[in-house]
Amino acid sequence: MIIHDGSDLAKYWARKMEGLSQVRDGSRGEIVRGYSFHGSVGIGKEAWDIHPIDIRMVDPTGKDFTCSADVMRDQIKEMLSYGIGLEQLHVFDRGYDDQKEFAFLDEQGLDWLIRMRKNRNVIYRNERGHNIRLVAESMLEDYSESKNGIHYAYHPVWIELDVDGEGKNVKPYLKRYTLVVIDHPKYPNPMMLMTNVPVESLEGAVEMYSGYLDRWEVEDYYRFFKQTLDVETMRLMKFQKLSSFLRLLMILSDFTLREYHKSQDPLSPSGLWEILQSSYVPAEETLIMSPYVVTQAVSELLQEEQLYGFSGQMDYSPPTKQLALFSPAQFLDSFS
């Protein structure tokens, strides 16, 4: 599947920079100066099976800026133009439960899953104007099914659309979707998921719920992206340079993730990690090999000359361990 979600880059030290706006720093719960960005990230079934596709910073002060949703639509259209995401399920959180998004995704021919907010109205059993929260409760009372202590209900609903995929007004028409409701005993309110994929069995409802839960993998990626690559310390002042550097770091993060997966596959060479294991001793013996450790290892080895200090010699050569990282004979497989 492909997860589409936004996040923020806090810039506590910033005063006047292009594109700065008010953002919420999720790690501190504070409103600060910074940048918003949208990410599209592929998610597989294994641990850290994460594939960053595109990341775009948002400049609300730019002359071409209309709204964040338009930035995401442009991002999706460009991704599709390269043939990426045509056969995957596209998953969105609350905030994208809007008829403009439904129409846009439908016109792109995509399968999608969106978590709904409780203030939306749907057409249920041929009756208009039903609050989706009341519909969800009715579905659970009438014909819910259980698995592992969790109650599921699924039923077709209709939504009236009066815009097309570009957000232009059109003659109103009804579109049939499926509402999947999940009542988990740990949570006070049921979760409501809307999808254009037919759900006709308990197994299908469970699959949709599992798919949405996998959306949280993108949070792990953003945490890795911010904390390990330390993108919030970027001191470039121009918005375009910042944006380009952000996407460069996305490529670096993808490389690190691919190296991590090579090390997990016993049937293929482990690439960079094989070199690191022979030359890198982590400061903490309890560290478990992960993308975090791969990045930390590369960073420390590339800075190893700091341990020696400047000797005053003009023909200074990097330590052997640094050279090993870039030895063509050993490192070639890392780029394959």
pLDDT tens across 182-210, in order? 999 999 999 999 999 999 999 999 999 99
pLDDT at 85: 93
The three-class DSSP label of residue 131 is: strand
pLDDT at 252: 85
Q: In terms of pLDDT, which residue wins out, 238 or 150?
A: 150
Q: In terms of pLDDT, which residue wins out, 96 or 298?
A: 96
Among 63-67, 123-127, 300-304, 306-310, whose mean pLDDT is lowest? 306-310
From the list 121, 99, 122, 119, the residue with the least C-alpha distance to 168 is: 99
pLDDT at 33: 81
Q: How many residues does the chain have?
A: 336
Angle at 58 between CA 24 and CA 2, to 5 degrees: 90
Strands 30-43 and 21-25: antiparallel
pLDDT at 330: 40
Compute the average pLDDT of residues 19-43.
81
Q: Of all residues in the chain, what percent carry a pLDDT higher than 90? A: 38
Q: Which of 162-171, 178-187, 235-244, 288-297 is predicted most confidently?
A: 178-187
**Token digits for 264?**
């997990």
Among 213-217, 280-284, 292-296, whose mean pLDDT is lowest? 280-284
Does the structure show a pLDDT above 60 at 292? yes
CA dihedral sign, ordered 93, 98, 104, 105: positive
DSSP code per residue over 43-91: E-SSTT-EEEEEEEEE-TTSTT---HHHHHHHHHHHHHHTT-SSSSEEE
- 39 has which bridge partners? 5, 55
Compute the average pLDDT of residues 147-171.
92
pLDDT at 110: 96
Does the structure show a pLDDT above 90 at 335? no
pLDDT at 323: 46
pLDDT at 96: 87
pLDDT tens across 310-320, in order? 455 555 555 55
- Domain locations in the chain? 113-200, 234-335
From the list 51, 87, 85, the residue with the least C-alpha distance to 261 is: 51
In the chain, the amino acid numbered 3 is I
Strands (E), the chain: 2-10, 21-25, 30-43, 50-58, 89-92, 111-115, 121-124, 127-131, 145-147, 150-163, 169-183, 191-195
pLDDT at 299: 72
pLDDT at 325: 47
Does the structure show a pLDDT above 50 at 328? no
pLDDT at 304: 61
pTM for the full predicted model:
0.81
Q: DSSP code of 19?
A: T
Task: With beta carbons less than 8 A apart as the criterion, state whether 10 and 21 touch.
Answer: no
